[in-house]
Amino acid sequence: MGNGGFGAAFRDALAARSMSLGALQRSLEARGTPVSLATLSYWRSGQREPEQAASLRALAQIEHILHLDPGALERLLEPRRRRVGLDRLADFSEHHERIRELLGEVGFNSPSDRLIDREVVLKYELGPDRAPVRSSYVLVVESIHPHADRRATVLTVRPGAETPQITPLGGYRLGRERGIVVGEMILDRPLVAGETAMLEQEVTYATADPSDNSYLYWAVRRMTSVSIWVRFHPELVPARCEYYTVVDGVEHVTELETFGASVSRTVTGFGPGTLGIRWYWD
């Protein structure tokens, strides 16, 4: 049972919108995330909290329906309820079994069993041969652990490619690395539960891959914001670009216009799911 913080905030949000549990239940049903009246009542009283993956997806919709910021209710849950189970990896990568093994080798149960991602800005740069040169990101993480001192990082590398070089630019140092690449980011100091920090890293690619035509991000949980910025060589801009998302196995695609020699997209309140940008040269 929670400490009352979640239940009280849920009650206050319902009152602020003058919304009954019945009206909320109907809205959730219409959005494809049904929750029973009994369960909603337990959540409102603080006797229970959302815990399973389906309940956490419904909670993200509740925040939207009640005009709350993404994560406003979720961050009040007991930390153990906010962790992402290993089964979620299957939604994000075909290499999920190998990722599980490698995470275990560096002491993680899941990519977010200590820290969860809140905001991220990602940059991906391509050279004059159409191959990726480097990527970088600035990430805001929140601790869901009383003493969170490290985070897992997961990169995918195509078969036959050399392992890219990861360079910490702020907030952490590299620990152990494994395989495809799974590694640990050791924070400059431990964070207490609810505390946030910013981390920055750069990845330099060792194997040119001109056939590469996409850059994606796995939002393991609901994110406050995700920004992706793909930068092309000034003399080689693709003919067409598109933004895509994959949620619960369903892909949605939107055409994007380039801005000079780059293309970008910022989304708020997204996740869990995959989002990315693709480009076509012809």
Residues 157 and 112 in one domain: yes
pLDDT, one tens digit per residue, over 212-239 is: 899 999 887 778 899 999 999 999 999 9
pLDDT, one tens digit per residue, over 78-96 is: 654 444 444 456 555 666 6
Neighbours of 133 (CB within 10 A): 15
| 3-state percent helix, strand, coil for the chain, nearest multiple of 5 | 25, 40, 35
Inform me whether the pLDDT recorded for 54 exceeds 60.
Answer: yes
Number of folded domains in the chain? 2
Residues 188 and 60 in one domain: no
Residues 60 and 96 in one domain: no
Q: Which of 28, 61, 82 is where one domain is finished?
A: 82
Residues 100 and 24 in one domain: no
Inform me whether the pLDDT recorded for 110 exceeds 80.
Answer: no
Residues 242 and 199 in one domain: yes
Residues 75 and 194 in one domain: no
How many angstroms separate the CA atoms of 53 and 71, rounded?
15
The string of DSSP codes covering 94-154 is TTHHHHHHHHHHTT-SSTTSSEEEEEEEEEEEE-TTSSEEEEEEEEEEEE-STTEEEEEEE
Residues 176 and 264 in one domain: yes
Q: Which of 23, 55, 82 is where one domain is finished?
A: 82
DSSP state of 147: T
Inform me whether the pLDDT recorded for 3 exceeds 70.
Answer: no
State the CATH number of the domain containing residue 42: 1.10.260
User: Cα–chain-centroid distance for residue 162?
Assistant: 26
pLDDT, one tens digit per residue, over 240-271 is: 999 999 887 789 999 999 999 999 999 988 88
**Structural domain range at position 132:** 86-280
How many angstroms separate the CA atoms of 122 and 275, rounded?
12
pTM over 0.75: no
